[in-house]
């Protein structure tokens, strides 16, 4: 019975991966049921039962999430092109749907995103994805690496995590202006506080880009030069839904570290982003989580 359930989950995961890779295509029931190798007469009910969303509702949300990422982080693409890629025949129809879902027009969101309604709107999509997400890790998933020191430019975020999206937007704009593209300059996140501290204003995280170029301190943008120190690290790779790395971090702290006999070094846990959501399908986004060791 367990093997049959795993087979069912694997077939449904194929469908989610196919949707992510073909958001510009015709994602009709016949095509998706064929990907899952289920009868088209039952697939829509099986999908809804598995994910709590209809096929059409899931595809709509996935396209809208990609569109919102492109609005916030890819200035070169026009609103009209983003609307077409999201499956809308006209920018006006896209704008109405976008405003209804997020309370902002696409152009207003591009200039100054309100991330609170954004997170709320995609709760059902994130819940659907999490149903098949890998929730457990093993010691075989963890490697110990000797990591060289990495000079970085740092943009600090200090304050309520609900405003982190705006800091990320400024960070991306700054690194674009500096010519530090993610494909050539690695991206790191260093967590200096709990994920949800009390009070929220105690939240502290550094957004970093690896560079050996001189970094001019910029108080207004909170840019400064720094370094991710070298040394031994336990490394755990997470693929897909890298918005929330808390389950992977909890595994390292709660299970791997006590059983390993290792001790944590005096530097925060951090990650390297290997695929950014604005540029790759969500299931291909990846991150290496680093736990510094003595």
CA atoms of 180 and 158, how far apart (whole Å): 23
Do 144 and 249 lie in a common domain? yes
Identify the pLDDT of residue 277.
56
Choose one of 107, 130, 153: the last residue of a domain. 130
Do 76 and 94 lie in one domain? The reply is: yes
**Could you tell me the pLDDT band of residue 178, with boundaries at 50, 70 and 90?**
confident
Per-residue confidence (pLDDT) for residue 63, from 0 to 100: 92
Q: Mind listing the pLDDT tens digit for each residue in 4-19? A: 777 878 888 889 888 9
| pLDDT at residue number 258 | 93
Two structure tokens written together for 74? 């890819």
Query: Same domain, yes or no, for 162 and 283?
Result: yes
Q: Specify the pLDDT at position 196.
A: 80
Structurally, the chain folds into a number of domains equal to 2
| Position 219 pLDDT exceeds 60 | no
List, edge to edge, every strand of the sheet that includes 187-191. Answer: 142-147, 231-239, 286-292, 270-273, 187-191, 204-210, 150-158, 223-228
Selected residue with higher pLDDT from 244 and 219: 244
- The range of the structural domain enclosing residue 188 comes to 139-292
């Amino acid at each position: 019975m367990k093997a049959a359930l795993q087979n069912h989950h694997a077939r449904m995961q194929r469908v989610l991966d196919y949707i992510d890779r073909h958001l510009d295509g015709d994602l009709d029931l016949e095509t998706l049921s064929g990907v899952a190798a289920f009868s088209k007469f039952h697939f829509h009910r099986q999908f809804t039962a598995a994910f709590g969303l209809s096929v059409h509702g899931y595809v709509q949300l996935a396209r809208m999430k990609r569109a919102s990422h492109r609005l916030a982080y890819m200035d070169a693409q026009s609103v009209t092109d983003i609307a077409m890629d999201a499956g809308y025949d006209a920018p006006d129809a896209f704008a109405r749907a976008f405003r209804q879902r997020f309370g902002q027009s696409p152009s207003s969101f591009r200039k100054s995103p309100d991330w609170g309604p954004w997170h709320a709107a995609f709760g059902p999509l994130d819940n659907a994805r999490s149903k098949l997400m890998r929730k457990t890790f093993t010691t075989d998933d963890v490697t110990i690496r000797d990591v060289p020191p990495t000079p970085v430019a740092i943009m600090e975020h200090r304050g309520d995590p609900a405003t982190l999206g705006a800091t990320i937007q400024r960070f991306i704009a700054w690194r674009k202006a500096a010519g530090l593209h993610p494909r050539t300059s690695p991206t790191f996140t260093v967590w200096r506080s709990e994920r949800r501290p009390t009070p929220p204003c105690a939240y502290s995280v550094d957004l970093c880009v690896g560079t050996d170029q001189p970094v001019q301190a910029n108080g207004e943008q909170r840019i400064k030069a720094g370094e991710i120190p070298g040394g031994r690290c336990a490394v755990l790779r997470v693929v897909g839904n890298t918005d929330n790395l808390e389950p992977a971090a909890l595994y390292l702290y709660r299970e791997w570290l006590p059983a390993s006999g290792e001790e944590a070094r005096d530097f925060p846990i951090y990650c390297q982003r290997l695929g950014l959501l604005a540029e790759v399908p969500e299931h291909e986004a990846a991150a290496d989580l680093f736990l510094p060791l003595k």
